[in-house]
Structure 1
Amino acid sequence: MAQVYVGIGSNIEPERHLSAGLAELQRQFGWLNVSTIYANAAVGFTGADFLNGVVGFTTDLTVQVVVARLRDIEAVHRNTADPKPASRALDLDLLLYDDRVLREGRLHLPRDEIVRHAFVLKPLAEIAGDRRHPLLGTSFAELWAAFDSSRETLTPVTLRWEPSLSR
């Protein structure tokens, strides 16, 4: 079983879309480890604030199948054709798949944004702090401790989402 981490975000009706996205991720992949959800300003464009977090789960599916399922979930929220950076109803980004290092077209593992953005690194460090970055060899907790978080303000929010107890 592979340990997978996915960034989840939205700035279009974010509570509704994140709740629906989490429910579908759980339906597709089973038990989820969900970080704190944070509000933060849009990065790279002018738009409404985002809600962002990180979700962890295990799977026996291949990287390509996981990515295809993430795209299918996004497609339900009609934003797969939107160029980035732009407002997003639901954005699901594969951050890590075990310790796999991969550069295949637009699929990069580990995802570069992990070390560039607080809204990715902080929630990842919360749920996977002891794991090491596959390229840097440094734990995500150590990376977060050294991160200049003054560039991005993160505000924890309470998301109304109840995980299902059944699989």
Structure 2
Amino acid sequence: MAQIYISLGSNVDREKHTRAGLQALHQSFGELQLSSLFESEAVGFDGKPFYNMVIGAITTKTMPEVAHLLKQIEADNGRVRGGKKFSPRTLDLDLLLYDDLVTDELVQLPRGEILYNAFVLWPLAEIAPERRHPLVQQSYAQLWQDFDKNKQQLWTIPFSWTPE
């Protein structure tokens, strides 16, 4: 069994795609641990604000199986590949952590943006505060405490979700 953490983002039909992504993750992994839902300005391009959150789950799937599944859920929700890196997204699901695995094969783990995007670090610190980053060996709570919060603006928004 592996503990995984996934970031979810959307800035196209945000509520619809956030809920659809959560439902697909629930169907694939069962019980989910959810951070708060955050809203943030687009980073890297001019676009509509994003919804972002981090989801924790336990899985028996291998890391490649999880990575493939996330890409499939994105595609099922209208995600088009091959566009610009920084562009609008129906649904963006990124594997942040797979236990304490460190790799650059297939996907980068731990995902680099944990350390430089508030919309990833804050929700991760919320649901896994004592867990330590496998490379820098600091807890996510400490990393968030030390983060320059003037760099990126984000805020929590009311949200509740129940599996169908």
TM-score (norm 1): 0.95
- State whether residues 71 and 80 of structure 1, in contact with CA within 8 Å, keep that contact through their aligned partners in structure 2: no
The equivalent of 1:123 in structure 2 is: 123
Q: 1:160 to 1:127 in 2, by over 3 A?
A: closer
Instruction: Say if 2:103 is the partner of 1:91.
Output: no
Instruction: Say if 2:104 is the partner of 1:111.
Output: no
- State whether residues 79 and 88 of structure 1, in contact with CA within 8 Å, keep that contact through their aligned partners in structure 2: yes
Aligned length: 163
User: Which residue identity lines up with residue 17 of structure 1 in the other structure?
Assistant: H
- The gaps in structure 2 that reach 5 residues or longer are none
RMSD across aligned positions (CA): 1.0
Local SS of the residue matching 2:104: strand
Instruction: Say if 2:27 is the partner of 1:27.
Output: yes
| Partner Cα distance (1:77, 1:83) in 2 | 18
| Partner Cα distance (2:103, 2:96) in 1 | 11
- State whether residues 132 and 140 of structure 1, in contact with CA within 8 Å, keep that contact through their aligned partners in structure 2: yes
Local SS of the residue matching 2:138: coil
- The gaps in structure 1 that reach 5 residues or longer are none
Local SS of the residue matching 1:89: coil
Q: State the shift of 1:80 in Å.
A: 3.6
The equivalent of 2:79 in structure 1 is: 79
- State whether residues 53 and 119 of structure 1, in contact with CA within 8 Å, keep that contact through their aligned partners in structure 2: yes
Local SS of the residue matching 1:150: coil
1:98-146 per-position Cα deviation (integer Å, ceiling 9, x unaligned): 00000115x1000000000100000000000100000000000000000
User: Which residue identity lines up with residue 116 of structure 2 in the other structure?
Assistant: R
The equivalent of 1:102 in structure 2 is: 103
- State whether residues 19 and 160 of structure 1, in contact with CA within 8 Å, keep that contact through their aligned partners in structure 2: no
Local SS of the residue matching 1:104: coil
- State whether residues 118 and 152 of structure 1, in contact with CA within 8 Å, keep that contact through their aligned partners in structure 2: yes
> Percent of counterpart pairs with the same letter?
47
| Partner Cα distance (1:29, 1:59) in 2 | 6
The equivalent of 2:70 in structure 1 is: 70
User: Which residue identity lines up with residue 88 of structure 1 in the other structure?
Assistant: R
TM-score (norm 2): 0.96
User: Which residue identity lines up with residue 37 of structure 1 in the other structure?
Assistant: L
